[in-house]
C-alpha cells in the first residue's frame, strides 16, 4: 500500500484547491451561474469510472433540498454497535444500503462546473456529500459555525449556504475528521476498519495522463459497507453510485479504485 510522509501538512496545503469536474448539457446554465455571481465549482471530487454512466447518475437524483431547511438526524439506536462519539454502525449500514444506489432526495446531488474542450459540462461530484450523510445518520454530531469554511454541517444543499466545505469536499472532510472534529484516526491496517469507516483515494486522472502526482491530494471518498469472505472491505459511494464494491476493485480503467495512487484508511472513533 502506498505510504507518504507529512500527511497533515499536505492536506492543509491542498484542501482549498477545489477540482472542478462536472457535467451538464446546458451551456446557458453555466453562463447564468457566472452572471449571478455563484461559484463555478463547489466540490473537488472527480467522476469515477466504476459502475453507472453519468446519464444514469443524473437521472437517479439531483435532489430537492436547496430550500435550506434544517435537517435533523434521528437519535442513535443505543445498540451494542454504538461507539464513542455516538456513532451507530448499524444505522450507518442501513443508510448506505438504502441510499447508495437511490440518492436521498432530502439532499441535493452535488456536482460542479468545468470546461471540457470548448464547452462547459457538469458531472457528478457527490461522493463526499454521501459519506457525510452516512456519518450524520449514524449519529456523528454536526457543528455549524455559520460559515462554509468551518464546522461540519449541511442543510441539504451543495453551495455555501447549503453545507460546509468539510461536508462536501474530500480533503476538507479528511481535515475535519482527523483534526478539527477529531472523530477518527488514520490506520494502515484494513483489519482495523469497521462498517461506517472511510477510505479515501487519490485516483489517477486521465487528463493528467494517468500518472501519479508527487503531491498528496485525495479526490474520492468511499464508506466501508461490508466485508468479503476473506475479510477485505467492501465500499459504497456516490459519483458513480455503487454498493458493496471491493475496495481495490479494477475494471479495466487506470482510474479505477484498484489502480489508485494512494489510499487513506480512517477509522471513526
Boundaries of domain holding 59:
7-268
**pLDDT at residue 111 in the model:** 87
Q: How many residues does the chain have?
A: 269
The pLDDT confidence band at residue 84, using thresholds 50, 70 and 90, is low
Cβ neighbour number for residue 27 with a 10 Å cutoff: 12
Angle made by CA atoms 115, 117, 240, in degrees to the nearest 5 = 60
Task: Supply the pTM of this predicted model.
Answer: 0.73
Classify residue 84: in a domain, yes or no: yes
Look at residue 2 and tell me if it is in a domain: no
Q: 86-143, pLDDT tens digit by residue?
A: 899 999 999 999 999 999 999 999 987 667 777 777 678 999 999 999 999 999 999 9
pLDDT attached to residue 85: 60
Q: What pLDDT does residue 73 have?
A: 57
- Measure the N-to-C terminal CA separation of the chain; round to a whole number of Å: 23
Q: Tell me: pLDDT of 18 over 70.
A: no
- Please give the grid coordinates belonging to residue 20: 472542478
Residue 72 pLDDT grade (very low, low, confident, very high; cuts 50, 70, 90): low
Per-chain mean pLDDT for the chain: 76
pLDDT given for residue 109 in this prediction: 94
How confident is the model at residue 46, as a pLDDT?
Answer: 40
User: Quick check: is 111 in a domain?
Assistant: yes
Residue 1 lies in a domain: no
54-78 burial, b for 16+ CB within 10 Å, e for fewer?
Answer: beebbeebbbebbeeeebebeebee
Give domain status of residue 43, yes or no. Answer: yes
pLDDT given at position 184: 97
Pairing of strands 262-268, 184-187: antiparallel
Summarize the confidence of residues 148-177 as an average pLDDT.
96
Of residues 179 and 36, more confidently modeled: 179
In a domain, 155, yes or no: yes
CA distance 128 to 105: 16
Task: Give the total number of structural domains in the chain.
Answer: 1
Asked whether residue 244 is domain-assigned, the answer is yes
**47: closest CA among 14, 24, 13, 16?**
24
- What confidence tens digit (pLDDT) does each residue in 213-244 have? 999 999 999 999 999 999 999 999 999 899 99
pLDDT of residue 118: 79
- pLDDT band at 27; cut points 50, 70, 90: very low
| DSSP per-residue codes, the chain | ----S-HHHHHHHHTT--------S-HHHHHHHHHTT--S--------SSSS-HHHHHHH---S-TT-PPP-PPPP---TTEETTTEEHHHHHHHHHHHSSS--TTS---EEEEEETTEEEEEE--HHHHHHHHHHHTTPPPB--SSTTSSB-BSS-SSTTTB-HHHH-HHHHHHIIIIIS--EEEES-GGG--TT-EEEEE---GGGTTPPPSS----EEEEEEEE-TTS-EEEEETTTTEEEEETT---S-TTSGGG-SEEEEEEE-
pLDDT score of 252: 85
Q: Is residue 231 part of a domain?
A: yes
**Residue 114 pairs with which residues in a beta bridge?**
121
Q: What percent of the chain has pLDDT over 70?
A: 66
- 150 Cβ neighbours under 8 A, 6+ residues apart: 164, 180
Under the banding of pLDDT at 50, 70 and 90, the label for residue 31 is very low
List the single range of 23-37, 99-113, 196-210 with lowest mean pLDDT.
23-37
Over residues 46-63, mean pLDDT: 33
Amino acid at each position: 500500500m502506498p505510504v507518504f510522509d507529512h500527511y497533515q501538512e499536505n492536506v492543509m496545503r491542498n484542501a482549498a484547491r477545489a477540482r472542478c469536474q462536472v457535467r451538464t448539457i446546458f451551456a446557458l446554465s453555466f453562463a447564468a451561474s457566472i452572471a449571478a455571481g455563484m461559484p463555478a465549482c463547489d466540490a473537488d471530487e472527480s467522476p469515477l469510472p466504476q459502475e453507472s454512466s453519468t446519464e444514469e447518475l443524473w437521472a437517479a437524483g439531483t435532489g430537492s433540498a436547496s430550500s435550506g431547511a434544517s435537517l435533523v438526524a434521528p437519535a442513535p439506536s443505543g445498540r451494542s454497535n454504538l461507539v464513542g462519539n455516538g456513532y451507530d454502525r448499524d444505522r450507518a449500514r442501513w443508510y448506505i444500503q438504502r441510499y447508495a444506489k437511490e440518492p436521498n432526495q432530502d439532499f441535493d446531488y452535488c456536482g460542479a462546473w468545468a470546461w471540457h474542450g470548448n464547452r462547459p459540462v457538469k458531472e457528478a461530484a457527490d461522493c463526499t456529500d454521501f459519506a457525510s450523510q452516512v456519518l450524520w445518520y449514524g449519529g456523528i454530531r454536526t457543528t455549524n459555525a455559520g460559515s462554509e469554511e468551518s464546522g461540519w454541517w449541511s442543510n441539504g444543499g451543495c453551495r455555501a449556504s447549503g453545507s460546509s466545505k468539510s461536508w462536501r469536499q474530500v480533503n476538507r472532510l479528511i481535515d475535519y475528521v482527523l483534526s478539527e472534529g477529531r472523530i477518527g484516526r488514520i490506520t494502515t491496517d484494513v483489519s482495523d476498519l469497521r462498517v461506517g469507516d472511510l477510505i479515501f483515494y487519490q485516483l489517477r486522472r486521465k487528463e493528467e495522463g494517468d500518472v501519479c502526482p508527487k503531491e498528496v491530494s485525495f479526490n474520492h471518498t468511499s464508506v466501508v459497507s461490508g466485508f468479503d469472505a476473506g475479510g477485505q472491505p467492501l465500499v459504497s459511494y456516490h459519483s458513480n453510485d455503487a454498493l458493496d464494491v471491493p475496495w481495490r476493485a479494477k475494471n479495466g480503467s487506470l482510474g479505477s479504485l484498484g489502480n489508485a495512487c494512494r489510499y487513506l484508511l480512517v477509522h471513526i472513533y
